[in-house]
Amino acid sequence: MRHLAFVLSLFALPAFAQQDFSKVEIRTEKLSDSVYMLVGAGGNLGLSVGEDAVFLVDDQFAPLTPKIEAAIAKITPQTVKFVLNTHWHGDHTGGNENLGKAGALIVAHENVRKRMSVENFIEFLGMKTQPDPRAALPVVTFTTDITFHLNGDEIFAQHAPRAHTDGDAIVHFRKSDVVHMGDVMFNKLYPFIDTSTGGTVEGVIAAAERTLKEVSERTRIIPGHGPLANRADLEAYRDMLVKISARIRDQLRAKRTLEQVQASKPTAEFDGVWGKGFLKPDKFVEMLYRNMEKRVQ
């Protein structure tokens, strides 16, 4: 129930209000010889398969585990050996308990385990989450980065400090030239930043900058939500966040109220591309305003 409550509140909009997992189909897209992107409901998945082990990035919602396993079974007879969570949110970790019980080793930044172990309150969404059962918790945690040498690839997961949350990891499949950004990137929709669990817009921008230095025009980029992206999309995302956050920061310094900032329409030029997702322009402005107000003097 916890995860259903999560999706209903996170996507508290008509299009998502009636979400029925029985209707969800998992779509698979091959990105390299060994790496795939899987799309269903919840965060986009990354998958590495090959001679060594099945390595999965994120696992959506618990009711979708059999469908995710069926999608993987079309690619390889092996079962999932590693799950790496990009952050603690239930639309990325909901399958942990099922996969953990089935024998997968769950890996994440240490703050993911801390957050999943306790009750959390996401103030912006007015949503309380319950502690996860032990079987859902990461059993291997890291602080800065961790590397997996599997399937002829080097899979490098690096912490992005204070970005979408305080426990984000960005996963780079180096030989395959694929990056999974987790929710540090939303493609073509305004991103949610979880202020209540340590997220900051400055951290999201810094992580985008860092990734831009590491990727080429050919790199395939899996965003946490939205369609498959490339370097130009990440650059556009960074530019959008830099411009809008600067406009709101200037007005915070000038002691403008949220209503005044919303009335100034700081997102207007971007709304056509980014404003049709679950955060509409005014809500996105409110989220950034609340996120930045404590750091602006």
Interface positions with Zn ion (CB under 5 A): 89, 183
Looking at the Cβ atoms of 113 and 249, the one nearer to Zn ion is 113
Distance CA 188, CA 78 (A): 34
Looking at the Cβ atoms of 183 and 286, the one nearer to Zn ion is 183
Looking at the Cβ atoms of 43 and 266, the one nearer to Zn ion is 43
121 forms bridges with which residues in the sheet? 128
Least Å distance, CB 127 to Zn ion, is 12
Return the H-helix or E-strand segment holding 106: strand 105-109
- Residue from 107, 89, 100, 207 nearest 148 by CA: 107
Looking at the Cβ atoms of 97 and 183, the one nearer to Zn ion is 183
Looking at the Cβ atoms of 59 and 183, the one nearer to Zn ion is 183
Least Å distance, CB 46 to Zn ion, is 15
Q: Alpha-carbon dihedral of residues 30, 31, 33, 35, nearest 10 degrees? A: -90
Distance of CA 35 to the CA centre of its chain: 18
Least Å distance, CB 278 to Zn ion, is 12
First to last CA, the chain: 41
Least Å distance, CB 89 to Zn ion, is 4
Least Å distance, CB 164 to Zn ion, is 6
- Residue from 98, 87, 25, 78 nearest 58 by CA: 87
